[in-house]
Structure 1
Amino acid sequence: MIASYIKTSVRSIMRNKLFSIINIVGLAIGMSVGLLLIAFVHDLLSYDRFNEKGSRIYRITSNAKFKQGHSSKFASTSIKIDRLIQERVSGVEETTKLQTEFSGDANINGNVIPLTGIYAEPSMLRIFTLPMLKGDAATALHSPNSIVLTETSAKKLFGAEDAFGKTIHINDLDYKVTGILKDVPFFSHIQFESLVSFSTIEPRIVKDQDLLTWGNVWQRNYVYILLPKNLSASNLQAQIDAICAEENKLDKEAEIYLTLLPLYDIMVGEELENSIRPAMPGVVLWIISGLAFVVILSACFNYTNLSIARSMRRYKEVGLRKVIGARKSQVCMQFLAEAVIISFVSLVLSFAMFLVLRPQFIDIAPELLKIVKLEITSPMLLMFIAFSMVVGIVAGFLPAIFFAKVNITHALKDASSIKVFKGISFRRSLVVVQYTFTLIFITSTVIGYVQYKDILAFDLGFNTENILNINLQKNKPEVLINKLKAMPEVSGVSQSRLLTSVGNAWGGFLKYKGLRDSALVLLNIVDENYIPLHGYKLIVGHNFITKPVTKDATSELIVNEKTLKQFNIGNGDLEKAIGEEVLLNNKKLTIVGVIKDFHYSKLDSNIEPVVFTYLTPDAFLTSDGRDGLVNVRVNTDNPIETMAKIQEVWKSVDPVHPFDAQFYKDSIEDAYNELSAMIKVIGFLSFIAISIASLGLLGMVVFTTETRIKEISIRKVLGATAGNLVLLLSHGFVVMLAISALIALPITYIFFENIVLTNFPFHNRIGIVELFGGLLAVLAMAFIMIGSQTIRAAQCNPAEILKSE
């Protein structure tokens, strides 16, 4: 019986070549998107699965509510919780704490090589599956100044030499290599070049008690716990909640609420601040899956439409099958088998498309390479085959049910009389749904792209044109600045702590007389050249005058208008604000200037209070060295050549670290990478959707033209022109597209205005062109297909068509 199904299906496919090709290509295009999604989800769900105890490992995350009003969720937490859990929580098998702030330049036989790593406890090697190639996992991270290298970093530092037991000089300290690990798998949310014993930094932690405070969730400290077998995390959450309640009463700055996050949910879950590795929020995954599902469903609609549209040709076949004894189930199986065979053929074509689309998809959003590989594996191939069968069954289900219900006595009648939606035929309703989704995709892409370009061109309140920002990478800035100023292409140089308007933030607590409590303000540390270089508008007062050499000696403060309004400094008179004293992080400073409001944060935030303090030589001194940026304004007609010259200047100052610089405009563009990637993905799916819809429409037009060829010939004999025939045949399709537009355009407009764009307070209104541009493109494409087939039919000789009538 199965052989009969296959043989009959193949004959039917070969007998209807055009419709079979349209179905195969349409399904293949849709399935290629499905294959991309399967590979994408497979990679995300592969994270941390190599850990033998992975199902019992949890990371403690922090929901911090600061008493000044700011709140956020962090992947990091205070290292104090590690000790509290060990002392007060019962039922925990093991705990470990990490700090991801180890970095420095390793000096190996006179060669200086940058190295990064994680401060870790010995228990890390007991909790996570990290095979040791050399050394004892139990003792490798026990003593201070011990370092464990990965296989790759050992070769990076020592080449072919055996690194085990060697001494490395980093940041004025000597570290002994006590172990060599296998390289960390790509699908691990924790990535590192080396592990350094946590006991190395414990003296520093003891000395600086601020590092142990309950509210210190900003530092990149992470705590993991291992639960015993058969113990639920919910059993421990109540004990942790009790610790939070007790500690929150004692802390004056913040309330911290801790949650146990399963290891396998770290990469596919809520996006948290201070994440070790970029994660994929579950909502984004659901959105992408939903869009891919719509595209695949659209391809299935094509199959259903064309199968039902061809019902008159196959009605007799089904009637005869039933006459000779075929049951409904056998008719169903016949049409399902045909759909599955077409789906398998489509799978071969879609796999080839997948191999072509994979690099294009990654090019759309290069940041995806940080978290996925999309490589073909055996389990993935099995999922592809299973997916193909599911698509075949879904595509063939409605035609199978449709033909199984054929009444033998009406076998010679038209089956297109199935009606739904108040007179619109079933297959026409599928076309309406298909084009509704297509128009939503296209219109969303156009609106998103226009809004994205408006964001990039938005006036931020300061100048970013031709400004190159160079990461100092812990170098002293003086030598670099002097060499840059000597270049004729450089018209100005300044320094800053961070880059504004790209999502970076650094805050402080400001207090003004008459206010009982301090409040959070955004902060940047800059020099006297920063404001004129970037073209900030100084309304009253003056730029920094004093040039203190230590941060303790700073006395001047420049604020924006929003700061004066929020703290009511000067009672609304900007002039009166000059000379007023405030406390910033408990340090007394005098306001010397007021600048016009600007966008410190990205455009998804309102304008906030911002203050500038003066950059001193010791402003960036930390335990790890120097930090900060040098801002360079370049005036040149050849930016590539100028960049090469600046890079040579950098190499003369720092031959070890690679040149890390980016133009301000590019940094702003990168800040909206997520938005850009989403627009590109939706645009990619729009192209796929319109391709599938166009194939389906082509099939429907061809079928309609073939079934009405005699009518066309008669009308032509009676004097109808090609234009009249195009209008005649296109009328039904235009009505369907009009219905789709009436559904899709209002939905898209409301969705963007009331949901998406509410996240961007400074967005522009949606214009007529963005809203109707996609519709015009679809209409043009539809008329081209309808017109081409109609003109072809109109060119037929009526005598040949009607000679047998």
Structure 2
Amino acid sequence: MIGSYVKTSVRNVSRNKLFSTINIVGLAIGMSVGLLLIAFMHDLLSYDKFNEKGSRIYRMTSHAKFRDGYREKFASTSVRIGKLIREKVPGVEEVVIMRSEFSGDAQVSDNVVPLTGFYAEPSMLRIFTLPMLKGDAATALEEPYSIVLTETSAKKLFGTSEAFGKTIHMDSLDYQVTGILKDVPFFSHIQFESLVSFSTIESRMTKDQDFLKWSSVWHRNYVYLLLPESSSASVVQAQIDAICAEENKTDDKATIHLTLLPLYDIMLGEDLQHTLRPVMPGIVLWIISGLALVVILSACFNYTNLSIARSMRRFKEVGLRKVIGAGRSQVRHQFLAEAVVISLAALLISFAMFLVLRPQFMSIAPELLKMVKLEITVPMALAFIVFSMAVGIVAGFLPAIFFARVNIIHALKDVSTVRMFKGLSFRRGLVVVQYTLTLIFITSTLIGYVQYKDILAFDLGFNTENILNISLQKNAPNALIDKLKAMPEVTGVSQSRLLTSVGNAWGVQMKYKNLRDSSLVFTNIIDENYIPLHGYKLIAGQNFITRPVTREATSEVIVNERTLRQFNIAHRDPEKAIGEEVLLDNKKLTIVGVIKDFHYGKLDDNIKPVVFTYLTPDAFLTRDKRDGLVNVRINTSDPVETMARIREVWKSVDPVHPLEAQFYDDSIEDAYSELSAMIKVIGFLSFIAISIASLGLLGMVVFTTETRLKEMSIRKVMGATSGSLVLLLSRGFVVLLAVSALIALPITYLFFERVVLTHFPFHNPIGIVELFGGLLAVLTIAFIMIGSQTLKTARSNPAETLKCE
């Protein structure tokens, strides 16, 4: 029976070449998106599955609420939290505390290689599945200044020589190689080149008051737990909640709430501060999946629509089948088999399209290269086949139900008496739904693109044009600055602690004399050249007056208008605020200047209170690995040559590390890369959706013109013009498109105005062009499809068409 279904299906496909081609190509285009989604999901769900105990591993996440009301969620936590869990929570098998601040230049003889990694406790090698090639996993991370290398980092440092037991010189310290690990798998959210014994950092941090402080969750410490097989995560969570309640009473800066996060939920979880690797939030994955599903359903609509449209030619076939004994189930199975055959044929085309689209999809969002590979595996290939059959069943379900209900007498006597779904215009409804979704896609892409470009061109309150920011990478700045100033293309140089307006933030506590409690302000450490170089507008006072050489000697601060309003300094009068004293991070400073408000954060945030303090020569001589920046304003007609010269200058200062530099405008563009990627993905799906919709419309128009060919010929004999016939044939389709537009445009507009753009307080209003541009594009394509076929029918010779009557 199955062989008969397949044979009949193949014959029907070959007999109706045009409609079969439209169906196969339409399904293939939609299925190629499905294949991309399957591959994407497969990779994301593969993370950390190599860990043999992965189902029992949890990471502690910190939800911090600071006393001034500032809230943040961190993937990191404090060292004290890990120690308290180990001491007070009996239902935990293992605890490991890690710190991700190990980095520097490792030297072996004359070979100098940058090396990064984690400080980690010995339990690290007991909790995670990290096979040791050489050394004892039980003792490799016990002694201070012990280091475990991955196989690749060992080869970079020692070449073909034996690395185990040797010494690495790094930051004036010697580390002994006590183990060699296999390279960390790609699908691990923890990536490292080396592990250093945690006792190494503990011995050096004895005088740091923040190291063991409860609320120091912003430091990059991470705590992982391994629970026994018989233990319940909820019971452990309750014990941790009790610790939080007790410890929060003793801390005067923040209230910390800790949550157990399963290892397998990290990559598909919330995007937290200090995450170890870019993650894919579940909501984003749901959105992408929903959009892909819409495209796939659009392809299925095409199949359903064209199958039902061709019903007149299939009724007699169905009637004869029923006469010779076929029941409803056999008819349903026949049409489902036909749909599955077409879907499997489409799978071959869609797989070829997948191979072509895969690199293009990865290029849409380069950060995806850090997360997924999209390589073909046997389970993935099987998933592709199952997916193809499922699409075939979905696409063929309604036609199968429809034809199975056909009455034998009506089908054989007069097919015109058959009514689809009791007279409901089901096919028209499918066309409206399909084009409504297509219009939503295209209009969303246009609105998103225009808003994205407006964000990049937004006036931030300071100048970013032609400013190159160079990371010092722990180098002394003086030699680099002197050589840069000697270049004729360089028109200005300054220094800063960090880059603003791209999502970076550094907050400190500030107190004014009239306030009892301190409040959080955001800050940047700058030199005297920073404000004029970037064009900040001083509305009162002046630039830094003194030039202190140590942080302790710093006595001046420059604030923005928002700071005056928040603390009510000098009754918010900029002129009177000059000379006022504030307490910044427990240090008394005098306000010497007030600058006009600017966007310290990204445009999805409000204006923040910001203070600038002076950058002294010892400002970056700390354990903090976020080195300072040299800001260089460039004026050149040959940027490529200028960048080459800057690389040479850098190489003369630091021959080990490559230049890390980026123009300010490019950094801002990267800060909104997620938005850009989403727009590109929706644009890509828009192209797919309009391609599918156009194929479906072409099939509908061809079928309509074929079935009304004699009617058109008679009308032409009676005196109708080609123009009037084109209008008559296309009128119904234009009405459907108009209905789609009336549904799609208001939905898209309201969605952006009331949902998307509410996250961007400084967005521009939606314009007429981007709102109706998509409709114009769809109408143009539709008119080409409709016009090409209807004009061909209108110009046909009536004598040829009617000669058989």
TM range (shorter): over 0.9
Q: After superposition, give the CA deviation of every residue in 1:63-101 in whole Å (9 maximum; x if it has no partner).
A: 111111100111111111111111111111111010011
Which residue pairs with 1:208 in the alignment?
208
1:240 alignment partner, SS class: helix
Alignment-derived partner of residue 101 in structure 2: 101
**1:804 lines up with 2:804 in the alignment:** yes
Find the aligned partners of 2:625 and 2:131 in 1 and give their Cα distance: 32
- Residue equivalent to 2:260: 260
Query: Is 1:640 the counterpart of 2:656 in the alignment?
Result: no
State yes or no: 1:739 paired with 2:739.
yes
Corresponding residue for residue 350 of structure 1? 350
Q: Is the aligned partner of 1:539 residue 2:539? A: yes
- Where does residue 418 of structure 1 map in the other structure? 420
2:687 matched residue in structure 1:
687
Measured in 2, the distance between the counterparts of 1:124 and 1:261 equals 17
**Identity value in percent:** 79
Paired residues, what number?
A: 803
Provide the secondary structure at the position in 2 that maps to 1:29: helix
Instruction: State the match for 2:389 in structure 1.
Output: 389
C-alpha distance in 1 between matches for 2:229 and 2:327 = 54
**Shift in CA distance, 600/471, structure 1 to aligned 2, threshold 3 Å:** same
Q: Which deviations, in whole Å up to 9, do the C-alpha atoms of 1:372-391 show, x marking residues without a partner?
A: 01010111001000000100
TM-score (norm 1): 0.99
Aligned to 2:180: 180
| Aligned-residue offset at 1:725 | 1.5
2:444 matches 1:444? yes
2:211 is paired with a residue whose SS is helix
How far residue 317 of structure 1 moved from its aligned partner, in angstroms, is: 0.3
After superposition, the C-alpha distances for 1:600-655 in whole angstroms (9 at most, x for unaligned) are: 00000111110000000111111367810000000011111111111100000000
Distance 1:383 1:428 in 2: 33
Question: What corresponds to 2:430 in structure 1?
Answer: 430
Displacement of 1:111: 2.3
Alignment-mate amino acid for residue 744 of structure 2: A
Q: Is the 8 A contact 2:266 2:279 kept in 1?
A: yes
User: Which SS does the other structure have where 1:212 is aligned?
Assistant: coil
Unaligned runs of 5+ in 2: none
1:769 aligns with 2:766: no
Cα separation, 2, equivalents of 1:114 and 1:447: 44
Aligned to 2:335: 335
SS of the counterpart of 1:346?
helix
**What secondary structure, in the 3-state scheme, does the structure 1 residue paired with 2:416 have?**
coil
Q: Distance in 1 between matches of 2:421 and 2:768?
A: 35
Aligned partner of residue 278 in structure 2, secondary structure? coil
- Aligned to 2:334, the other structure's residue is in SS state helix
Please say if residues 309 and 700 of structure 1, whose CA atoms lie closer than 8 Å, have aligned partners that are also in contact: yes
Q: Given residue 73 of structure 2, which amino acid in structure 1 is its aligned partner? A: K
CA distance, structure 1, for counterparts of residue 679 and residue 625 of structure 2: 40
1:75 and 2:78 correspond = no
Equivalent residues in 2 for 1:373-772, closer than 5 Å? 373-411=373-411, 412-414=414-416, 417-418=419-420, 425-623=425-623, 627-772=627-772
CA distance in 1, matches of 2:760, 2:789: 46
Q: Is the 8 A contact 1:476 1:626 kept in 2?
A: no
SS at match of 2:205: helix
Matches within 5 A, 1:210-359: 210-359=210-359
Question: Residue 338 of structure 1 aligns to a residue in which SS?
Answer: helix
- Where 1:209 maps in the other structure, the secondary structure is coil
CA distance in 1, matches of 2:431, 2:301: 8
In 1, the alpha carbon distance for the partners of 2:716 and 2:368 equals: 57
Other structure's SS at 2:249 match: helix
Partner of residue 783, structure 1: 783
1:790/1:113 CA distance change after superposition, 3 Å: same
Residue 794 of structure 1 and its aligned partner are, at CA, apart by 2.1
SS of 2:415 mapped into structure 1: coil
> Closer, same or farther in 2 for the Cα pair 1:367/1:625, shift >3 Å?
closer
Matches within 5 A, 1:86-97: 86-97=86-97
Please say if residues 406 and 418 of structure 2, whose CA atoms lie closer than 8 Å, have aligned partners that are also in contact. no
One-letter amino acid of the counterpart of residue 558, structure 1: I
- Given that residues 726 and 794 in structure 2 are in contact (C-alpha distance below 8 angstroms), is that contact kept between their aligned partners in structure 1? no
User: Deviation at 1:424?
Assistant: 5.6
Q: TM-score under structure 2 normalisation? A: 0.99
Q: Which letter maps to 1:709?
A: L
Cα distance in 2 for partners of 1:155, 1:237 equals: 42
Counterpart-to-counterpart distance in 2, 1:97 and 1:416: 73
Structure 1 letter corresponding to 2:459: D
Aligned-partner SS, 2:356 = helix
For 2:79 and 2:744, locate their aligned partners in 1 and report how far apart those are by CA, in whole Å.
Answer: 52
Q: Secondary structure at the match of 2:189?
A: coil
Task: Give 1:484's aligned amino acid.
Answer: L
Displacement of 1:205: 2.8
3-state SS of 1:38 partner: helix
CA distance in 2 between counterparts of 1:721 and 1:369 reads 58
Give, in angstroms, the shift of residue 720 of structure 1. Answer: 2.1
What is the DSSP-based 3-state SS (H/G/I as helix, E as strand, rest coil) of the residue aligned with 1:687?
helix
| d(CA) in 1 for partners of 2:592, 2:49 | 57
Q: RMSD value over aligned CA atoms? A: 1.0
Secondary structure of 2:206 counterpart: helix
Which residue is 2:42 aligned to? 42
Looking at structure 1, the residues matched to 110 and 445 of structure 2 have their Cα atoms a distance apart, in angstroms, of 55
- The one-character-per-residue Cα deviations of 1:629-683 (angstroms, maximum 9, x if unpaired) are 0000000111111111111000000000011000000000000000000000000
Tell whether the 8 Å contact from 1:205 to 1:212 is kept in structure 2 after alignment: no
> Closer, same or farther in 2 for the Cα pair 1:704/1:620, shift >3 Å?
same
Please name the residue that 1:164 is paired with: 164
Q: Residue type matched to 2:30 in 1? A: G
Cα distance in 1, alignment partners of residues 787 and 587 from structure 2: 77
**Structure 1 contact 308–416 (Cα < 8 Å) conserved:** no
Contact 2:57 2:226 survives alignment (8 Å): yes
Q: Residues 105 and 113 of structure 1 are in contact (CA less than 8 Å); yes or no, is this contact kept in structure 2?
A: yes
SS of residue in 2 equivalent to 1:201: helix
SS at 1:532's partner residue?
helix
CA-CA distance at 1:416 after TM superposition: 6.9
Worse-matched range after superposition: 622-631 or 49-58: 622-631
Tell me how far apart the structure 2 counterparts of residues 415 and 430 of structure 1 sit (CA, whole Å).
Answer: 22
Aligned to 2:62: 62
Q: Cα deviations across residues 768-790 of structure 1 (Å, max 9, x unaligned)?
A: 11111000110111110111001
Counterpart Cα distance in 2 of 1:471 and 1:799: 80
Q: Which amino acid aligns with 2:427?
A: R
Q: Give the structure 2 partner of residue 132 of structure 1.
A: 132
- CA apart distance, 1:718: 2.1
The 1:203/1:6 distance shift into structure 2, 3 A limit, reads: same
Measured in 1, the distance between the counterparts of 2:120 and 2:626 equals 24
Provide Cα deviations, 1:179-199, integer angstroms capped at 9, x if missing partner: 000000000000000000001
8 Å contact kept, 1:510–1:518: yes
Offset of residue 419 of structure 1: 5.4
- CA distance in 2 between partners of 1:746 and 1:634 (Å): 46
- Measured against aligned partners, the alpha-carbon deviations of 1:675-720 in whole angstroms (never above 9, x if no partner) come to 0000000000000000000000000000000000011111222222
C-alpha offsets along residues 228-274 of structure 1, whole Å, 9 cap, x if unaligned? 11322011111010000001111111010001000000001111111
CA contact (8 A) 2:169 2:175 kept: yes
Secondary structure of residue in 2 paired with 1:206: coil
Amino acid at match of 1:418: M
Counterpart of 1:23 in structure 2 is 23
Distance 2:144 2:660 in 1: 32
Deviation digits for residues 152-198 of structure 1 (CA, Å, limit 9, x no counterpart): 00011111111111100001100000100000000000000000000
Letter in 2 for 1:679: I
2:619 aligned counterpart, secondary structure: coil
**Contact 1:319–1:406 at 8 Å: present in 2 too?**
yes
